[in-house]
Protein backbone atom coordinates (compact mmCIF):
# COMPACT_ATOMS: atom_id res chain seq x y z
CA UNK A 1 0.00 0.00 0.00
CA UNK A 2 2.81 2.40 0.85
CA UNK A 3 4.25 1.74 -2.63
CA UNK A 4 0.94 2.88 -4.17
CA UNK A 5 0.84 5.86 -1.85
CA UNK A 6 4.38 6.87 -2.70
CA UNK A 7 3.56 6.52 -6.42
CA UNK A 8 0.52 8.79 -5.92
CA UNK A 9 2.65 11.29 -4.04
CA UNK A 10 5.29 11.43 -6.76
CA UNK A 11 2.51 11.84 -9.38
CA UNK A 12 1.16 14.80 -7.39
CA UNK A 13 4.66 16.35 -7.19
CA UNK A 14 5.23 15.93 -10.93
CA UNK A 15 1.80 17.41 -11.60
CA UNK A 16 2.49 20.44 -9.40
CA UNK A 17 5.64 21.18 -11.44
CA UNK A 18 3.72 20.82 -14.72
CA UNK A 19 0.87 22.97 -13.38
CA UNK A 20 3.25 25.75 -12.34
CA UNK A 21 4.88 25.67 -15.79
CA UNK A 22 1.42 25.69 -17.40
CA UNK A 23 0.31 28.73 -15.37
CA UNK A 24 3.53 30.58 -16.27
CA UNK A 25 3.02 29.70 -19.95
CA UNK A 26 -0.59 30.93 -19.77
CA UNK A 27 0.68 34.22 -18.30
CA UNK A 28 3.11 34.40 -21.24
CA UNK A 29 0.17 34.00 -23.65
CA UNK A 30 -1.57 36.96 -21.97
CA UNK A 31 1.55 39.07 -22.54
CA UNK A 32 1.87 37.92 -26.18
CA UNK A 33 -1.81 38.60 -26.86
CA UNK A 34 -1.75 42.08 -25.34
CA UNK A 35 1.63 43.37 -26.56
CA UNK A 36 2.61 41.28 -29.61
CA UNK A 37 -0.54 40.69 -31.66
CA UNK A 38 -1.97 43.55 -33.72
CA UNK A 39 -5.39 44.98 -32.93
CA UNK A 40 -8.13 43.80 -35.28
CA UNK A 41 -9.64 46.91 -36.88
CA UNK A 42 -13.31 45.88 -36.98
CA UNK A 43 -13.57 44.11 -33.60
CA UNK A 44 -11.13 46.24 -31.61
CA UNK A 45 -9.34 44.95 -28.53
CA UNK A 46 -12.15 42.48 -27.76
CA UNK A 47 -10.86 40.28 -30.61
CA UNK A 48 -7.92 39.39 -28.33
CA UNK A 49 -10.36 37.45 -26.11
CA UNK A 50 -9.98 34.81 -28.82
CA UNK A 51 -6.43 33.93 -27.58
CA UNK A 52 -7.88 32.81 -24.24
CA UNK A 53 -11.26 31.54 -25.44
CA UNK A 54 -10.10 29.25 -28.27
CA UNK A 55 -7.32 27.50 -26.26
CA UNK A 56 -9.78 27.02 -23.35
CA UNK A 57 -12.22 25.39 -25.80
CA UNK A 58 -9.35 23.25 -27.08
CA UNK A 59 -8.44 22.24 -23.49
CA UNK A 60 -12.06 21.39 -22.68
CA UNK A 61 -12.58 19.28 -25.79
CA UNK A 62 -9.25 17.46 -25.28
CA UNK A 63 -10.18 16.80 -21.63
CA UNK A 64 -13.63 15.44 -22.50
CA UNK A 65 -12.21 13.34 -25.34
CA UNK A 66 -9.70 11.84 -22.89
CA UNK A 67 -12.60 11.01 -20.54
CA UNK A 68 -14.36 9.12 -23.35
CA UNK A 69 -11.24 7.28 -24.52
CA UNK A 70 -10.25 6.32 -20.95
CA UNK A 71 -13.83 5.15 -20.36
CA UNK A 72 -13.75 2.90 -23.44
CA UNK A 73 -10.43 1.45 -22.28
CA UNK A 74 -11.81 0.99 -18.74
CA UNK A 75 -14.81 -1.00 -20.01
CA UNK A 76 -12.41 -3.15 -22.03
CA UNK A 77 -9.51 -3.63 -19.61
CA UNK A 78 -11.24 -3.06 -16.19
CA UNK A 79 -8.18 -1.20 -14.91
CA UNK A 80 -9.29 1.08 -12.08
CA UNK A 81 -6.57 3.64 -12.92
CA UNK A 82 -8.32 4.37 -16.23
CA UNK A 83 -11.53 5.20 -14.35
CA UNK A 84 -9.63 7.51 -11.98
CA UNK A 85 -7.91 9.20 -14.90
CA UNK A 86 -11.24 9.71 -16.69
CA UNK A 87 -12.77 11.29 -13.58
CA UNK A 88 -9.73 13.57 -13.18
CA UNK A 89 -9.91 14.67 -16.81
CA UNK A 90 -13.66 15.38 -16.48
CA UNK A 91 -13.09 17.74 -13.55
CA UNK A 92 -10.30 19.58 -15.40
CA UNK A 93 -12.52 19.75 -18.51
CA UNK A 94 -15.20 21.48 -16.46
CA UNK A 95 -12.67 24.16 -15.37
CA UNK A 96 -11.68 24.77 -19.01
CA UNK A 97 -15.36 24.78 -20.06
CA UNK A 98 -16.12 27.45 -17.47
CA UNK A 99 -13.45 29.67 -19.06
CA UNK A 100 -14.81 28.92 -22.54
CA UNK A 101 -18.44 29.57 -21.52
CA UNK A 102 -17.66 32.87 -19.76
CA UNK A 103 -15.14 34.42 -22.16
CA UNK A 104 -17.27 33.53 -25.22
CA UNK A 105 -20.33 35.56 -24.14
CA UNK A 106 -18.12 38.51 -23.12
CA UNK A 107 -16.77 38.56 -26.71
CA UNK A 108 -20.28 37.95 -28.10
CA UNK A 109 -21.75 40.93 -26.26
CA UNK A 110 -19.38 43.39 -27.90
CA UNK A 111 -19.19 41.77 -31.37
CA UNK A 112 -22.66 40.20 -31.81
CA UNK A 113 -24.48 42.61 -29.49
CA UNK A 114 -25.80 39.76 -27.32
CA UNK A 115 -24.36 37.68 -24.47
CA UNK A 116 -25.86 34.43 -25.72
CA UNK A 117 -27.69 32.96 -28.68
CA UNK A 118 -29.14 29.46 -28.88
CA UNK A 119 -27.28 28.42 -32.00
CA UNK A 120 -25.97 24.90 -32.54
CA UNK A 121 -22.34 25.38 -31.45
CA UNK A 122 -23.15 27.27 -28.26
CA UNK A 123 -26.06 25.04 -27.26
CA UNK A 124 -24.14 21.80 -27.84
CA UNK A 125 -21.16 23.15 -25.86
CA UNK A 126 -23.42 24.08 -22.95
CA UNK A 127 -25.00 20.62 -23.16
CA UNK A 128 -21.54 19.01 -23.04
CA UNK A 129 -20.70 21.07 -19.94
CA UNK A 130 -23.90 19.93 -18.18
CA UNK A 131 -23.25 16.34 -19.25
CA UNK A 132 -19.91 16.35 -17.42
CA UNK A 133 -21.35 18.13 -14.38
CA UNK A 134 -23.85 15.23 -14.32
CA UNK A 135 -20.92 12.81 -14.75
CA UNK A 136 -19.29 14.12 -11.55
CA UNK A 137 -22.64 14.19 -9.71
CA UNK A 138 -23.21 10.57 -10.71
CA UNK A 139 -19.79 9.59 -9.37
CA UNK A 140 -20.53 11.30 -6.06
CA UNK A 141 -23.89 9.51 -5.77
CA UNK A 142 -22.79 5.89 -6.36
CA UNK A 143 -20.87 4.41 -3.42
CA UNK A 144 -19.84 1.10 -5.01
CA UNK A 145 -16.54 1.56 -6.87
CA UNK A 146 -17.24 -0.92 -9.66
CA UNK A 147 -20.73 0.40 -10.37
CA UNK A 148 -19.53 3.99 -10.18
CA UNK A 149 -16.81 3.29 -12.74
CA UNK A 150 -19.14 1.41 -15.10
CA UNK A 151 -22.01 3.92 -15.00
CA UNK A 152 -19.77 6.95 -15.38
CA UNK A 153 -17.83 5.30 -18.24
CA UNK A 154 -21.08 5.13 -20.23
CA UNK A 155 -21.73 8.87 -19.64
CA UNK A 156 -18.11 9.65 -20.54
CA UNK A 157 -18.44 7.81 -23.86
CA UNK A 158 -21.63 9.77 -24.64
CA UNK A 159 -19.61 12.95 -24.13
CA UNK A 160 -16.94 11.70 -26.54
CA UNK A 161 -19.61 11.17 -29.21
CA UNK A 162 -20.64 14.81 -28.81
CA UNK A 163 -17.10 16.25 -29.28
CA UNK A 164 -16.68 15.83 -33.08
CA UNK A 165 -20.27 16.90 -33.53
CA UNK A 166 -19.49 20.18 -31.71
CA UNK A 167 -16.43 20.77 -33.90
CA UNK A 168 -18.43 20.16 -37.09
CA UNK A 169 -21.57 22.03 -35.93
CA UNK A 170 -20.42 25.28 -37.60
CA UNK A 171 -20.44 23.44 -40.95
CA UNK A 172 -23.59 21.38 -40.34
CA UNK A 173 -25.86 24.21 -39.13
CA UNK A 174 -26.38 27.85 -39.90
CA UNK A 175 -24.63 29.46 -36.93
CA UNK A 176 -23.38 32.82 -35.67
CA UNK A 177 -20.22 31.23 -34.24
CA UNK A 178 -17.10 31.88 -36.37
CA UNK A 179 -15.79 28.92 -38.37
CA UNK A 180 -12.48 27.29 -37.33
CA UNK A 181 -9.34 29.23 -38.31
CA UNK A 182 -6.95 26.40 -37.44
CA UNK A 183 -8.41 22.89 -37.26
CA UNK A 184 -9.82 22.81 -40.79
CA UNK A 185 -8.88 21.21 -44.13
CA UNK A 186 -7.46 24.43 -45.68
CA UNK A 187 -4.49 26.49 -44.40
CA UNK A 188 -4.91 28.69 -41.26
CA UNK A 189 -6.66 31.94 -42.17
CA UNK A 190 -5.00 34.61 -40.01
CA UNK A 191 -1.89 36.85 -39.96
CA UNK A 192 1.35 35.20 -38.70
CA UNK A 193 1.48 37.17 -35.40
CA UNK A 194 -2.06 36.10 -34.55
CA UNK A 195 -1.39 32.51 -35.61
CA UNK A 196 1.80 32.31 -33.49
CA UNK A 197 -0.03 33.65 -30.45
CA UNK A 198 -2.91 31.23 -30.98
CA UNK A 199 -0.53 28.26 -31.34
CA UNK A 200 1.36 29.40 -28.21
CA UNK A 201 -1.99 29.55 -26.42
CA UNK A 202 -2.86 26.02 -27.51
CA UNK A 203 0.54 24.75 -26.32
CA UNK A 204 0.34 26.63 -23.00
CA UNK A 205 -3.18 25.44 -22.24
CA UNK A 206 -2.28 21.87 -23.21
CA UNK A 207 0.57 22.06 -20.68
CA UNK A 208 -1.83 23.50 -18.11
CA UNK A 209 -4.27 20.66 -18.84
CA UNK A 210 -1.48 18.11 -18.32
CA UNK A 211 -0.50 19.78 -15.03
CA UNK A 212 -4.06 19.96 -13.71
CA UNK A 213 -4.94 16.41 -14.73
CA UNK A 214 -1.70 14.93 -13.31
CA UNK A 215 -2.22 16.58 -9.90
CA UNK A 216 -5.90 15.60 -9.87
CA UNK A 217 -5.06 12.01 -10.85
CA UNK A 218 -2.43 11.79 -8.10
CA UNK A 219 -4.97 13.04 -5.55
CA UNK A 220 -7.52 10.48 -6.83
CA UNK A 221 -4.96 7.66 -6.55
CA UNK A 222 -4.07 8.67 -2.99
CA UNK A 223 -7.76 8.81 -2.03
CA UNK A 224 -8.31 5.44 -3.71
CA UNK A 225 -5.52 3.82 -1.69
CA UNK A 226 -7.03 5.19 1.53
CA UNK A 227 -10.55 4.11 0.49
CA UNK A 228 -9.21 0.63 -0.31
CA UNK A 229 -7.44 0.34 3.04
CA UNK A 230 -10.58 1.43 4.95
CA UNK A 231 -12.66 -1.09 2.93
CA UNK A 232 -10.22 -3.81 3.98
CA UNK A 233 -10.71 -2.88 7.65
CA UNK B 1 -17.19 52.25 -46.44
CA UNK B 2 -15.08 53.72 -43.61
CA UNK B 3 -15.60 52.27 -40.15
CA UNK B 4 -14.53 53.17 -36.65
CA UNK B 5 -12.62 50.67 -34.50
CA UNK B 6 -14.80 50.00 -31.44
CA UNK B 7 -13.47 51.03 -28.03
CA UNK B 8 -14.09 47.79 -26.13
CA UNK B 9 -10.91 47.22 -24.12
CA UNK B 10 -13.01 46.80 -20.96
CA UNK B 11 -14.47 43.58 -22.41
CA UNK B 12 -10.92 42.28 -22.94
CA UNK B 13 -10.00 43.13 -19.34
CA UNK B 14 -13.18 41.43 -18.07
CA UNK B 15 -12.58 38.23 -20.10
CA UNK B 16 -8.90 37.94 -19.15
CA UNK B 17 -9.69 38.57 -15.49
CA UNK B 18 -12.49 35.98 -15.40
CA UNK B 19 -10.26 33.38 -17.10
CA UNK B 20 -7.34 34.08 -14.74
CA UNK B 21 -9.59 33.87 -11.68
CA UNK B 22 -11.07 30.51 -12.79
CA UNK B 23 -7.63 28.98 -13.50
CA UNK B 24 -6.04 30.33 -10.32
CA UNK B 25 -8.94 29.33 -8.07
CA UNK B 26 -8.91 25.81 -9.56
CA UNK B 27 -5.11 25.61 -9.19
CA UNK B 28 -5.53 26.78 -5.57
CA UNK B 29 -8.09 24.07 -4.77
CA UNK B 30 -5.84 21.43 -6.38
CA UNK B 31 -2.83 22.63 -4.33
CA UNK B 32 -4.91 22.51 -1.12
CA UNK B 33 -6.17 18.99 -1.89
CA UNK B 34 -2.69 17.87 -2.96
CA UNK B 35 -1.12 19.13 0.28
CA UNK B 36 -3.77 17.29 2.28
CA UNK B 37 -3.14 14.10 0.27
CA UNK B 38 0.63 14.44 0.69
CA UNK B 39 0.29 15.07 4.44
CA UNK B 40 -2.03 12.09 4.97
CA UNK B 41 0.17 9.97 2.73
CA UNK B 42 3.33 10.77 4.69
CA UNK B 43 1.47 10.15 7.98
CA UNK B 44 0.29 6.72 6.86
CA UNK B 45 3.65 5.81 5.32
CA UNK B 46 5.29 6.61 8.65
CA UNK B 47 3.06 4.21 10.58
Could you read off the pLDDT of A67-118 as tens digits, one per residue? Answer: 999 999 999 999 999 999 999 999 999 999 999 999 999 999 998 899 999 9
DSSP H or E stretch at residue A84: helix A80-111
CATH code of the domain in which A217 resides: 1.20.120
Judged by CB atoms within 8 Å, which residues 42-81 of A form the interface with B?
42-46, 48-49, 52-53, 56
How many Cα neighbours within 13 Å face the side chain of B2?
1
pLDDT of residue B7: 86
Distance CA A115, CA A88 (A): 30
Answer for the pair B19, A52: CB distance below 8 angstroms, yes or no.
Answer: yes
* Contact assignment for B8 to A45 by CB distance below 8 Å: yes
Distance CA A145, CA A85 (A): 14
pLDDT of residue A232: 42
Distance CA A149, CA A78 (A): 9
Number of domains composing chain A: 1
Which of the four pLDDT bands, split at 50, 70 and 90, describes residue A181?
low
Total count of residues recorded for chain B: 47
Range of the domain at A49: 2-232
Q: Can you say how many angstroms the Cα of residue A214 is from the centroid of all Cα atoms in its chain? A: 13
Answer for the pair A52, A104: CB distance below 8 angstroms, yes or no.
Answer: no
Per the prediction, chain A carries an average pLDDT of 91
Answer for the pair A220, A103: CB distance below 8 angstroms, yes or no.
Answer: no
pLDDT in tens, A10-32: 999 999 999 999 999 999 999 99
pLDDT at A124 over 90: yes
Residue A106 at interface with chain B, using a CB cutoff of 8 Å: yes
Distance CA A17, CA A118 (A): 40
Residues B8, B11, B12, B14, Cα dihedral to 10°: 150
* Contact assignment for B11 to A48 by CB distance below 8 Å: no
- Choose among A164, A142, A136: nearest CA to A69: A164
- Choose among A198, A170, A204: nearest CA to A182: A198
Q: Does the model's ipTM exceed the 0.95 cut?
A: no
* Contact assignment for B18 to A106 by CB distance below 8 Å: yes
* Contact assignment for B34 to A16 by CB distance below 8 Å: yes
Amino acid sequence: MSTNLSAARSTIRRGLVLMTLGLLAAAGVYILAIYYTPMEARQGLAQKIFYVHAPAAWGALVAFSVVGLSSILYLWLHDERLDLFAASSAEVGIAFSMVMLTTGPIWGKTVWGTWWTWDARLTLTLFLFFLFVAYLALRAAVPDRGERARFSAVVGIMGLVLVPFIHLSVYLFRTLHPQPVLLKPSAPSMPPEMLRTLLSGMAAFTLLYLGFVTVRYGIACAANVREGSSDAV
Amino acid sequence: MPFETPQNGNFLVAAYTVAAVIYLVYAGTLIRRARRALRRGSGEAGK
